[in-house]
Amino acid sequence: MDKFALGMWMCLLVLSPILAIRLTPCDLAGQLYILDVPKTELGQWLCIAEFESRFNTHVVGQGNSDGSRDYGLFQISDRFWCAPPKATPYHAFNGCNVNCTELLSDNITTAVHCARLIKKQQGWTAWSVYEEFCNGTLSDAENCFQPETTETTLTPDPEIEITTVVTEMD
Ligand SMILES: *[C@@H]1O[C@H](CO)[C@@H](O)[C@H](O)[C@H]1NC(C)=O
Ligand SMILES: *[C@@H]1O[C@H](CO)[C@@H](O)[C@H](O)[C@H]1NC(C)=O
Ligand SMILES: *[C@@H]1O[C@H](CO)[C@@H](O)[C@H](O)[C@H]1NC(C)=O
């Protein structure tokens, strides 16, 4: 997404509060982790989602100069990667083999799979925000996982004790 498009959807976001349904950064980190995204990539994905969509899964950017639109959390282009709801002259490929509207779901599975395919084929620079905002020191997604780790360490797990008893009776 180019800078003009970024400006456009920011206007859209301000004018349409109903679209402002957002994930928190740690929600997103947790969901990415469950979807097998390597922990070493979480910082980059969080950064891209922040600058592309402000963590909003429902955003459709409309400002690209060629008339194409960008969909969802990672602002995936309907020019090359998904099928737009209506046939358009600029649509060239459906690289992720999905309908673009699937990329707007609260269930981010499809959007994540598509974004990872794009990254695999084109690298991080497929996102124009990457070079400017995301290629450097990033906020540490590791912080999102610490409370859980601490809890697990401090709380004895009753199931382990039950299992032990059963084993001894055997
Ligand atoms: C896209 O949506 C159309 C109509 O709803 C459906 O027929 C088609 O199977 C969908 N394609 C994919 C890849 O989900
Ligand atoms: C989310 O979508 C994926 C793929 O479409 C599906 O396998 C999964 O069950 C869905 N998860 C939920 C919580 O609905
Ligand atoms: C990212 O930063 C490194 C180190 O500053 C630089 O060598 C590289 O070219 C940058 N990559 C992109 C895509 O901007």
Ordered structural domains, the chain, with CATH: 3-145 (1.10.530.10)
> Ligand 2: does its nearest atom lie under 6 Å from the Cβ of 109?
yes
Does the annotation mark 27 as catalytic? no
Does the annotation mark 142 as catalytic? no
In 120-167, where do the E strands start and end? none
Distance CA 170, CA 163 (A): 11
Looking from the CA of residue 107, the nearest atom of ligand 2 is 1
Looking from the CA of residue 124, the nearest atom of ligand 3 is 13
Q: Is residue 157 over pLDDT 90?
A: no
Rounded to the nearest whole angstrom, what is the distance from the C-alpha of residue 131 to the centroid of ligand 3? Answer: 7
Please list the residues that pair with 99 across neighbouring strands: 83
- Find the radius of gyration of the CA atoms of the chain: 20
Ligand number with the minimum distance to the CA of 105: 2
Mean pLDDT score, 111-124: 98
Rounded to the nearest whole angstrom, what is the distance from the C-alpha of residue 164 to the centroid of ligand 2? Answer: 36
Which of 45, 55, 60, 54 lies closest to 101, judged by CA?
Answer: 60
Q: Per residue in 22-80, pLDDT tens? A: 899 999 999 999 999 999 999 999 999 999 999 999 999 977 888 899 999 999 999 99
In this structure, what token pair is assigned to residue 109?
Answer: 């599975």
Rounded to the nearest whole angstrom, what is the distance from the C-alpha of residue 132 to the centroid of ligand 1? Answer: 35
Percent of the chain past pLDDT 70, that is, above it, reads 74
Question: What is the predicted pLDDT for the residue at 161?
Answer: 40
Which of 7, 41, 24, 43 lies closest to 133, judged by CA?
Answer: 43
Compare 135 and 19 and report the one with higher pLDDT. 135
8-state DSSP, 99? B
H helices within 35-170, ranges in order? 42-53, 109-122, 128-129, 146-154, 158-169
Question: What is the predicted pLDDT for the residue at 91?
Answer: 82
Range in 82-86, 124-128, 152-156 the model is least confident about: 152-156
Ligand number with the minimum distance to the CA of 31: 2
Rounded to the nearest whole angstrom, what is the distance from the C-alpha of residue 75 to the centroid of ligand 3? Answer: 22
pTM: 0.77
Which of 158, 133, 146, 162 lies closest to 39, judged by CA?
Answer: 146
Distance CA 107, CA 140 (A): 24
Q: Is residue 95 over pLDDT 50?
A: yes
Ligand 3 surroundings by CB, under 6 angstroms: 125, 131, 135
Report whether 168 contacts 42 (CB < 8 A). no
Which of 74, 1, 86 lies closest to 37, judged by CA?
Answer: 74
The rounded mean pLDDT for the chain is: 80
